[in-house]
Amino acid sequence: MRSLTRLKSLQALEASARHGSFVGAAAELGVTPAAVGQLVRSLEEWVGYPLLKRTRSGNERLTPVSEARAALEEICAGLDQLEAGLTKLRGRRARKVVVVTASQVFAANWLMARLDNFSDEHPDIDVRLDVADQLTGVAYGEADVGIRCGLGSWQGLEATLLMDEEVIAVCSPKILPKEPITPSWIASQTLIHDDTLHPGGKFPTWSDWLTKAGVNSLPSGRGLHVNSTAAVIQGAIAGRGVALIRKLLAAQEIDVGRLHHLMPERCWPIRWSYYVVAPPRALRRSEVKAFRDWILRQVRTYQRARYGADHPVDDAPVC
């Protein structure tokens, strides 16, 4: 005979460990932080030792001890199975939901235009898109799956490569000269600098790009400095100057003619690539795996359309 009298305590422990606080867990579970703390303490009394380390500062004030960390994977899987069972009880009335997190600029310039295709393929699955510059914590269950651009290693997440990336120079067609474009002409324009942090990405500065292009007299640090990639793109579209942008994020604007790719023969591959990421436990859910597999197919279709059927799509771009 199974005893589920401690189910609420297990929920409280799992949510507290995931959020790193009783406050975050309480907001999710719809109770007070004091109630969550009491449920966790009752479980600790039952097992005979503390399950969470308490600290007074930091983003995560609660961290599971080693024994709890080992048990939480199975506890999470069990809670997922209970949720799946409840969904089956609802039968046809139930709809599966997958929560996807992506940056604002990626969602606007690549993902949104393709989501209707996912709905057509999977009419029984609803997508909830969490768009933010600070990506939602996928590892802690705040989203089921995420699209991230980086070096490919995120603790607690299974990362699958989508595509590599490069930085290109762009501007609005409104400011293009009548004569052929040269590196010197680019250097004479207002330079839009993307001050967004890209740790480890080897992103070029305008000085890097112009030096490689052979400009001898480099401009000073003048120009427009912006700490948002989305705003950099909008500044370039508005004709405020020339910008260095990740190619994928500019591709749609180039295709519709709102941006012009300057000197496309000069590309600058970077170390950051795009990945679809998800916790292993989330991938056990059919709707999450369906979204992961779907976006991988979308990327392959996109790359073949852009680079040709014979191009080694996993290696694009090639310079």
pLDDT value at position 319? 47
Are residue 225 and residue 206 in the same domain, yes or no? yes
Mean pLDDT of the chain: 85
Are residue 150 and residue 29 in the same domain, yes or no? no
Are residue 156 and residue 107 in the same domain, yes or no? yes
pLDDT value at position 85? 75
CATH, residue 312: 3.40.190.290
- Written as six digits, the tokens of 263 are 């000197």
Are residue 23 and residue 114 in the same domain, yes or no? no
Judge whether 305 lies within some domain.
yes
Judge whether 104 lies within some domain.
yes
Per residue in 146-200, pLDDT (tens digit) is 999 999 988 888 999 999 999 999 999 999 999 999 999 999 999 999 998 888 8
Domain boundary among 64, 91, 118: 91
What is the bridge-based pairing of β-strands 158-171 and 242-246? antiparallel
Are residue 69 and residue 114 in the same domain, yes or no? no
Domain boundary among 58, 91, 124: 91
Tell me the whole-structure pTM to 2 decimals.
0.70
Judge whether 303 lies within some domain.
yes
Measure the CA–CA gap between 218 and 205, rounded to whole angstroms: 12
Measure the CA–CA gap between 78 and 205, rounded to whole angstroms: 49
Are residue 50 and residue 116 in the same domain, yes or no? no
pLDDT value at position 94? 58
Per residue in 233-245, pLDDT (tens digit) is 999 999 999 999 9
Judge whether 130 lies within some domain.
yes
Are residue 201 and residue 142 in the same domain, yes or no? yes
144-183 burial, b for 16+ CB within 10 Å, e for fewer?
bbbbbbbeeebeebbbeebbbbbbbbbbbeeeeeeeeeeb
Are residue 125 and residue 237 in the same domain, yes or no? yes
Question: H helices of the chain, where?
Answer: 7-19, 22-29, 33-47, 66-90, 104-106, 115-121, 183-188, 206-212, 229-237, 247-255, 286-307
Per the model's pLDDT, the better-predicted residue between 84 and 254 turns out to be 254
Judge whether 2 lies within some domain.
no
- Written as six digits, the tokens of 210 are 């112009």
Are residue 140 and residue 108 in the same domain, yes or no? yes
Are residue 82 and residue 120 in the same domain, yes or no? no
pLDDT value at position 59? 47
> What is the mean predicted confidence (pLDDT) over 21-39?
84
Judge whether 1 lies within some domain.
no
Does pLDDT of 307 surpass 70?
yes
CATH, residue 27: 1.10.10.10
Domain boundary among 91, 107, 134: 91
Are residue 164 and residue 233 in the same domain, yes or no? yes
Does pLDDT of 6 surpass 70?
yes
Judge whether 30 lies within some domain.
yes
Q: How many domains does the chain have?
A: 2
Structural domain including 194 reads: 95-319
Per residue in 243-298, pLDDT (tens digit) is 999 999 999 999 999 999 999 998 899 999 999 999 888 888 889 999 999 999 99
Per the model's pLDDT, the better-predicted residue between 248 and 87 turns out to be 248
Are residue 38 and residue 152 in the same domain, yes or no? no
